[in-house]
Structure 1
Amino acid sequence: MKKLWMATAFLLLLCMIAACGDSESSSGGNDGEDVPKELTYASTSDAKGLSPIDTNDSVSSNVIVQVYETLFTLDPETMEPQPLLAESYETPDENTWVIKLNEGITFHDGTPFNAEAVKYSFEQMKDPERAAPRASLLEPIESIEVEDEYTVVLNTKEPYGPMLAALSHTNAAIVSPTADQEGDINREPVGTGPFVFEDWEEGDQVVLTKNEDYWREPTQLEKVVFKVVPEFSTAISMLETGDVQFLDAIPSDHISRVESLNNVEVQKKEGTRVSYLTFNVEKEPFNDLEFRQAVAYAVDQESYVNQLNGLGEYNESIIGPKVFGYNEDAQDTGYNYDPDKAAEIIEANGYGDETFTMLVANRDNYMKMAEIVQAQLSDVGLNVQIETMEWGAFLDTARAGEYEMTFLGWANSTADGSELLYPNLHTDNIGGSNYTRYNNEDFNKLVEESRITVDQDVRKEKLHEANVLAIQDVPWVVMEHGVVTAAYDESVNGLSVDPTGQWSLYNVTRE
């Protein structure tokens, strides 16, 4: 009996060990399955649209760059263009670009990616009736030819030095011709990228899912949510609790709190972005150089930058240090802070007798600039009131020239000075990306000369001359050159923000 009991106990013990072993194996398998495959990004603003042809703002671009792809892309370390959808290119002469495309790629709707799709996308960008806000990227292209299914030829009117940089820009992404003709890609985007559009609840969130048929190795993330969180302090709280895993463009007032979070990694690096105060120079007295000079003398950008907790750099050059065409001599050609000089000009011209309106988008960085500049202008005798507006409405209003003074920024996604000065300050783009409505023939000529040569030394020379001219003519008062930032949960790996402020979630994983 005793032997029977011992045998039974031994069998029970073996079963328990086996059960424990099975349980541990199961747990180990579940651990692998429980690795998070989703990521939520917090944005203080909703996207304006989801079409690379029809939008031109950083909030929209954050989504677009996950869904669409360009022929070339900028290396995040060197900022040099390298092939993406393109396989290779050659320039048989200085006005001809022959681009070979990668084969076997399809858009998310099954439409083949080929030379016809490239031709269609670029012709839509250039179509005046479509009024693409970044049509200037492709303005030098005179014609687009399909040589064969996977070869496209771009013919320019004159040599175009920034061509590869322009073709790396998010707004030069290739769209599905089928989706664009049969639907609304500004609402339902269709690209070739690693993520597929699923849903957009305006004012709340955009949802993307994994592209299982991606032409490269598919991403490990199954789902990405772009969550609209209007208050940055709320976004930080959600990052701390794990409700969101990623946010970027951290306002200076919040950086110390973000850096104090135990479960969060923070990236900071010198960027290409420039933020500035600008005027509608088609209106009086903003078309008066003396008025703009008075404002330039009155604004103390260095004191503003000192309040940014290391998230901005003081330099009055329009072309910043991380952008092609920068010459450090330019930083000494502007108007140093001189409130007495500003007050003298204002009094002499009677500018203090009027009240001016500063239109400001409801984003933390612009609101901070507006409050500081309003106080500084008040100190020298200018009466300025602030009017705030939601981001999407602000863009439409500012583009239409329905403002007097405002604050804007330019990410410099191409990292090329020509593609900073031409879209923003050249006469060709009034009504589009030239919100300032600036028109200066000498400036136009210099910028054009910087674009129509492939000699990079000549381009640098022309860009420097144009930059200095604009600094002295004051269509902009540069507030700061940006430092790009990102904060993300410690479970996030493979995330990197490049100097333009752009980021891709393609290589991101969570563990």
Structure 2
Amino acid sequence: MNVSNLLKYCALSIAISSTIVPSANAITPENQLVIGMSMDNLLSLDPASASGLDVVSVNSNLYDMLIELAPKEPSKISPAVAKSWSISEDGNRITFELRDDVIFHSGNKLTAHDVAWSLQRVLKLNLALASTWKTYGFTADNVEQFIQAKDDYTVEISLPEKTDPNLVLYTLGSSPSAFIVDSKEVLKHEKDGDLGHAWLTTNVAGSGPFQLRDWRAKDRVLMTRFDDYWREPSEMKRIVMRHMTESQSLRLMLERGDIDIAMGMSVPDIEALKKDDNIRSEATIRGTLYYVAVSMKDDKFSNKKVREAVRYLIDYKGINDSIMPNYGVLHQRPLKLGLDATLPEPGYALNVQKAKTLLAEAGYPDGFKTSIRVLSQLPFINIATSLQSTLAQAGIDAEIITGTGNQVYGAMRERKFEMLVGRGGGGIEPHPHSSLRSLVYNPDNSDEAKLTNFQGWRTGFYSPEINTIIENALLEKDAQKQIEMYQDVQNIYETQIGAIFPVSQMLDTVLLRTDVKHYEGHQAATTRLREVTKER
């Protein structure tokens, strides 16, 4: 290592150390934001494969998108790298005109070729983030034909299949697959045709307001301000994200001023900190739902009366009052809250006697034995324990089986479960189809179809009537008629007693020191920190 590089390395090491070692009277620097959060699911930074809320919150500050969705009004689209866009009259083509003053951290200019290549790369690698694009008809074989750079600053996306172009716009403004990567820089690190995947797992090739300086798995992420950012540079010179999973440690460090923001805290610690004048809380509604699911591949739950009995054996009010504060809010529809098409709550409530009557009519007067798969973490395990108790009141003896995400959701993907407490439902895009595609839609119920991205398929719920309405609603150009069609789906789902019973919509509660200003949590987890300031 030469002297110049050695000095740079030492300076970076000192900077990192100074950000993470608390002093007796700790207070973070004015131009530095320190965040305590879990990084358990921060496994890869590659936008083509990096699913999970942890990595989205990181990459949102290292990369740019064509467009952005407003944090509190996600149906409102704002320009970003694309200064304007237009939809063809037939709805089959979206054309974007790009800014010409955006540069990557490498110094390369960002052009339409980078945008097209980034999206093409997602389909060609065919990793986790390709799923949404495949539902629009894009494939590794056709993506170069349908996503093209027409010149240096014009991108054209043609839709392989008829769909609502607004849904595609929402995906471009919310999906981590839509981050724009520096194609020239990435291809320098390509190995064995991997399109730079191995390198991008731990490195970044973006144009965002911050640059990655250091990432140590389950330890810390250090970002520094990118002074050549096309927007006004951030007042924060550094963003430090520290891996912290113990709620009490987060609470202590936030109280002392060792960190500015804490995420993933327990309810008791959140409630205690709400009483501290130096700390405030901010809650953001996410699009995902906590739910109870049953498998209609199981003979018991294929019986409609049994499913209806289960619906009466969930203590919705008790769960939301005692377990879900700061985790979720009561919601019982498959569409997320806040959409014009979302119907009012149906008012399902615990009714043991009604459930017993339905079970007797279904041929189970004495109940039966079953199992509930669930993650062994809050609030999932608490919901499962509540469910176990209320099921028992009607004679259903349910064994709780805990496990990791792969063990719980893996069994669901293989359609080898009976009951499950989980969280999901898409809902990232502010469009009814996003929720219904994930929770209800199931175009092929055969085992061979392996439609593992559709939770309707995972549970074995199959309704040709609902499928047809969802498909037609997506193409309906009359906005009011489209809303009515999505409302019809909810009513039919209620009548047919679907296999997923939403209990609560996810609430993400963040605690901040009161001197942190202009922080806005985003419903799609694309929380951007470029405008955060401190007032002391």
TM-score (ref. length: structure 2): 0.79
The equivalent position to 1:295 in structure 2, one of 287, 305, 310, is 310
Quick one: which amino acid aligns to residue 126 of structure 2? Answer: R
Structure 1 stretch displaced more, 189-198 or 428-437: 428-437
* 2:452 counterpart of 1:431: yes
> Deviation per CA, 1:391-412, whole angstroms, max 9, x where unpaired?
5775666555554413113473
- Matched with 2:379 is 365
- Matched with 1:413 is 428
Quick one: which amino acid aligns to residue 451 of structure 2? Answer: I
* 2:507 counterpart of 1:445: no
**Partner Cα separation in structure 2 for residue 199 and residue 288 of structure 1:** 54
> Deviation per CA, 1:24-77, whole angstroms, max 9, x where unpaired?
xxxxxxxxx953424223237432432332233223322222222221111234
- Matched with 2:499 is 475
Quick one: which amino acid aligns to residue 461 of structure 1? Answer: E
> Deviation per CA, 1:263-310, whole angstroms, max 9, x where unpaired?
212224655443222234445544443433222110011221122447
Kept in 2, the 8 Å contact 1:66–1:505? The answer is yes
- Matched with 1:87 is 83
- Matched with 2:247 is 232
**Partner Cα separation in structure 1 for residue 408 and residue 229 of structure 2:** 36
Say which SS state the counterpart of residue 461 (structure 1) adopts: helix
Q: How does 1:18-167 map to 2 (within 5 A)?
A: 35-43=30-38, 45-79=40-74, 80-93=76-89, 94-127=91-124, 130-133=126-129, 135-137=131-133, 139-140=135-136, 143-156=146-159, 157-160=161-164, 161-167=166-172
Q: Structure 2 vs 1, CA of residues 183 and 235 (structure 1 numbering), >3 Å: closer, same or farther?
A: same
> Deviation per CA, 1:182-240, whole angstroms, max 9, x where unpaired?
34323334322222233333333333332233222222223323323223233222222
State, as a whole percentage, how many aligned pairs show the same letter.
19
TM-score (ref. length: structure 1): 0.82
Instruction: Supply the RMSD in Å over aligned alpha carbons.
Output: 3.1
- Matched with 2:512 is 488
**Partner Cα separation in structure 1 for residue 221 and residue 247 of structure 2:** 18
Kept in 2, the 8 Å contact 1:207–1:226? The answer is yes
Once the 2 structures are TM-superposed, how far is the Cα of residue 311 of structure 1 from its aligned partner?
Answer: 5.9
Q: Structure 2 vs 1, CA of residues 54 and 450 (structure 1 numbering), >3 Å: closer, same or farther?
A: farther
**Partner Cα separation in structure 2 for residue 393 and residue 47 of structure 1:** 19
**Partner Cα separation in structure 2 for residue 99 and residue 118 of structure 1:** 10
Kept in 2, the 8 Å contact 1:46–1:204? The answer is no
**Partner Cα separation in structure 2 for residue 324 and residue 483 of structure 1:** 20
Quick one: which amino acid aligns to residue 83 of structure 1? Answer: P
Say which SS state the counterpart of residue 58 (structure 2) adopts: helix
In structure 2, list runs of 5 or more residues that go unmatched: 1-27, 139-145, 187-193, 444-449
Kept in 2, the 8 Å contact 1:248–1:487? The answer is yes
Say which SS state the counterpart of residue 39 (structure 1) adopts: strand
Quick one: which amino acid aligns to residue 208 of structure 1? Answer: M
Q: Structure 2 vs 1, CA of residues 124 and 216 (structure 1 numbering), >3 Å: closer, same or farther?
A: same
Quick one: which amino acid aligns to residue 365 of structure 1? Answer: P
**Partner Cα separation in structure 2 for residue 55 and residue 462 of structure 1:** 34
Say which SS state the counterpart of residue 209 (structure 1) adopts: strand
- Matched with 1:319 is 335
In structure 1, list runs of 5 or more residues that go unmatched: 1-32
> Deviation per CA, 1:410-451, whole angstroms, max 9, x where unpaired?
473322211111134333682235354644322222222232
**Partner Cα separation in structure 1 for residue 317 and residue 423 of structure 2:** 18
> Deviation per CA, 1:151-201, whole angstroms, max 9, x where unpaired?
111112224142321221132322333427234323334322222233333
Quick one: which amino acid aligns to residue 249 of structure 2? Answer: T
Say which SS state the counterpart of residue 364 (structure 1) adopts: coil
Say which SS state the counterpart of residue 320 (structure 2) adopts: helix
- Matched with 2:10 is none
Say which SS state the counterpart of residue 387 (structure 2) adopts: helix
- Matched with 2:528 is 504
**Partner Cα separation in structure 2 for residue 76 and residue 470 of structure 1:** 30
Once the 2 structures are TM-superposed, how far is the Cα of residue 346 of structure 1 from its aligned partner?
Answer: 4.0
